[in-house]
Structure 1
């Protein structure tokens, strides 16, 4: 008598149940009926087979405390200075005994409100009211200065920005000779204010929590090509200052967790 496919499957399933086929894996697994599928039995244990998970934070202090508290042997950290972030792998292992690299801590520094404001204002074209309102909002961190570097009271700086006027003058010169004539014209446009217009704004701000205070110099220029004056703030030495902040980030991390993990610049893909 020929056996049906269902009967053969039933015999196979019964045999597997009877032998209790287990697999030689760290996490307990077994071969079960219904197509001999492999099922992870970890969820049925009282404890997990190994510690794993991802801790994420914006706080440099909390990240450092977590890493130092864990202090796993062989922990490796990878610092991305462009992103102001660090990924620390507790179970990376090595080439001889590679780990799963799924027990990690991730730090992504969040810029402070003041640093975000400095980045968003720099380089943009601003109306008089926009800049005066911005100075008023951040006045406790700002020091307006003139061309000589002397401080200007914030109230006067705000008034100066609000009362800018554009004055245009024209001058022409005509020269006549016996056989020729020439004419030249010169237009001069000048922006003036009733108060002393600041040459720059010194913005004192902590860029990221856990790093030291920085002084950002925002130089003011007035664009007079339109019907109304437009102001622009240029972040003096922006690239150099950003690089200094990134270097300080690495130094602070090395000082706080350098004894608990080996650090390196760059990123690591565990796939």
Structure 2
């Protein structure tokens, strides 16, 4: 009696299921027939086959301590200055002996409340009340500066913002010539206040935990085109200061991690 191919395959599969061939892998595995499920036996062992997991934190100091405490040979880290983050992989391996890259430490700095407030208010059109309330809320971190760089008390700066007056004046010229005549007109609009209106606000703030104090200069502009005055704050040299903060982040991170991991600028996707 001859056997059909299906019967032969069934006999082969049954033999494989009964005597699955172990493979020389670090994690226990075995060859089983197609259609049979492969089970991970790690959960039945006394311990995990390897240490893995991700430590995540917003604290630069705790991140540095964790990386140095691990002290894993050939650990590599990647710094993303745009995101103010860093990812260290302890088992990334190399091209000759690649690792699983699933033992990690991840750092993502959170902006402080003051730095977040500066970032959110810059460039927005504000009412007198909105700006005066903002100055009042952050008065402990602010210094008001006048046109001649003289210091203005925060109390007077708040009063000046609240009492802005718009004055408009017109001027016209009329010229007569032998062959014709010309006329020009000019309207001037000026914003003033009963108090000395500051031209700038200097905000002293630690942008992220673990970094140094920065002085951010916010130039005050008064918009007189509407029925009521509006104000804007412009961060002077914003791009330059953001770049300086990112560079300081890299320097402080290198000092915290030391020789515990090799750091590089950029991102790495192990998938």
TM above 0.5, one fold? yes
Q: Could you say what the CA RMSD is over the residues aligned between the two structures, in angstroms?
A: 1.8
Residue 3 of structure 1 and its aligned partner are, at CA, apart by: 6.1
Mapped partners of 1:223, 1:40: distance in 2: 67
Query: Which runs of no fewer than 5 residues in structure 1 stay unpaired?
Result: none
Structure 2 equivalent of residue 200 of structure 1? 200
Q: How does 1:140-159 map to 2 (within 5 A)?
A: 140-159=140-159
The TM-score normalised by the length of structure 2 is: 0.94
Residue of structure 2 equivalent to 1:61: 61
Output one character per residue of 1:29-81: Cα deviation in whole Å (capped at 9) or x when no partner: 12346734432211111101111111111111111111011010000011011
Q: Is 1:181 paired with 2:188? A: no
Aligned to 1:161: 161
> Which residue number in structure 2 is paired with residue 114 of structure 1?
114
> How far, CA to CA, are the matches of 1:189 and 1:35 in structure 2?
83
CA distance in 1, matches of 2:85, 2:244: 15
Structure-2 separation of matches of 1:4 and 1:180: 113
Could you tell me which residue of structure 2 aligns to residue 252 of structure 1? 252
For 2:211, the equivalent position in structure 1 comes to 211
Q: Is the 8 A contact 1:30 1:39 kept in 2?
A: no
In structure 2, distance between residues paired with 1:242 and 1:213: 13
Query: What are the within-5 Å matches in structure 2 for residues 1-271 of structure 1?
Result: 11-32=11-32, 35-271=35-271
Once the 2 structures are TM-superposed, how far is the Cα of residue 270 of structure 1 from its aligned partner?
A: 1.1
In structure 1, C-alpha distance between the alignment counterparts of 2:21 and 2:76, rounded to whole Å: 38
Gaps of 5+ in 2: none
Which secondary structure does the structure 2 equivalent of 1:82 belong to? coil
Q: Distance in 1 between matches of 2:232 and 2:188?
A: 20
Say if 1:142 and 1:201, in contact at 8 Å, map to a contact too: yes
Q: CA deviation at 1:124?
A: 1.0
The alignment covers a number of residue pairs equal to 271
Instruction: Give the Cα–Cα distance (whole angstroms) in 2 for the partners of residues 79 and 17 of structure 1.
Output: 48
Note the C-alpha offset of 1:150: 1.7
Q: CA deviation at 1:178?
A: 4.4
The farther-off stretch of 87-96 and 2-11 is: 2-11
**Alpha-carbon deviation of 1:98?**
1.0
Q: Deviations over 1:175-207 (max 9, x none)?
A: 234443222211110001000000100000110
